[in-house]
């Protein structure tokens, strides 16, 4: 499996993991002084190779392949990337120093949560759009012009989305739609490193709603949760809350 990895800076490593249908390009704007930022693009996304299977365990394998060369690192994960980071910390705590999780869908692999997930119809639409764009050979610029901005997104966020969708393997959205992508996520096994969850506003479509926050507190009372009013699921891509995202991240990394 060929994985696209970008690295910048020097110092203690921070591994950045994107959400499903994104790519490492979503973090190209982010620099962390005194840190080495490493942007992984998961299989089937962006410039990484395509694969036969796109389940949580496969993406965990992608992250571990980088960490085994990188050494112990802090992990920053958005959405799917957050669940991958959580799972990596459970399975290989020796490779993780701390977790910063952006609106992670930790419980969305459960059948009832998946059935009620309002994001599934948009994922179906995204899959159809990707297939249509790729069939006609649309350029990244043409895709960007057709994107519907999710809230007040930054210009580089839209460019990163068009880059990711241009190369996306549309088949990787099949397990998302079917509800099998996150079926093996474990919300009960211990996570022994410090964890901060930066959660979105439920009114704007959080993948980690308050009821999931309450459930996680029962098994992981040491996990800190900060919920941002006015923040959609794509917190790091949203102009109005990006400064707060960075402030929370920098303070957590210390």
Domain boundaries, the chain: 4-253
Residues 6+ apart with CB under 8 A from 16: 24, 27, 30, 37, 38, 39, 40, 76, 77, 81
Give pTM, 2 decimals.
0.97
The pLDDT value recorded for residue 125 is 96
The pLDDT value recorded for residue 122 is 95
Whole-number Cα distances in Å, 105 to 1, 179, 208? 26, 12, 5
The pLDDT value recorded for residue 147 is 87
The pLDDT value recorded for residue 121 is 97
Assigned token pair, 28: 């190209």
80 in Cβ contact with 44 (< 8 Å): no
Residues of the chain with pLDDT under 50: none
The pLDDT value recorded for residue 163 is 96
The pLDDT value recorded for residue 1 is 81
The pLDDT value recorded for residue 109 is 97
Assigned superfamily of 4-253? Alpha/Beta hydrolase fold, catalytic domain (3.40.50.1820)
Residues 6+ apart with CB under 8 A from 137: none
Q: Hey, how many other C-beta atoms are within 10 angstroms of the C-beta on 175?
A: 18
The pLDDT value recorded for residue 66 is 98
């Amino acid at each position: 499996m060929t994985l696209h990895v970008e690295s910048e800076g020097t110092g203690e490593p921070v591994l950045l993991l994107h959400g499903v249908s994104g790519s490492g390009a979503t973090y190209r704007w982010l620099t962390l002084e005194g840190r080495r930022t490493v942007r992984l693009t998961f299989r089937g996304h962006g410039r990484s190779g395509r694969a036969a299977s796109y389940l949580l365990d496969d993406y965990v394998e992608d992250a571990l392949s980088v960490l085994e060369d990188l050494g112990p690192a802090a992990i920053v994960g958005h959405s799917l990337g957050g669940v991958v980071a959580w799972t990596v910390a459970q399975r290989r705590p020796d490779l993780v120093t701390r977790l910063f999780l952006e609106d992670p869908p930790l419980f969305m692999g459960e059948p009832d949560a998946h059935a009620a997930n309002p994001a599934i119809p948009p994922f179906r639409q995204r899959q159809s759009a990707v297939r249509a764009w790729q069939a006609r050979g649309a350029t990244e610029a043409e895709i960007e012009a057709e994107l519907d901005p999710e809230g007040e997104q930054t210009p580089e966020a839209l460019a990163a989305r068009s880059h990711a969708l241009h190369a996306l393997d549309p088949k990787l959205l099949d397990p998302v739609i079917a509800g099998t992508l996150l079926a093996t996520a474990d919300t009960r096994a211990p996570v022994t490193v410090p964890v901060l969850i930066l959660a979105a506003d439920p009114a704007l479509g959080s993948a980690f709603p308050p009821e999931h926050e309450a459930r996680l507190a029962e098994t992981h009372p040491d996990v800190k949760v900060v919920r941002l009013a006015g923040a959609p699921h794509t917190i790091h891509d949203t102009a109005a809350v990006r400064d707060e995202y960075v402030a929370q991240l920098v303070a957590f990394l210390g």
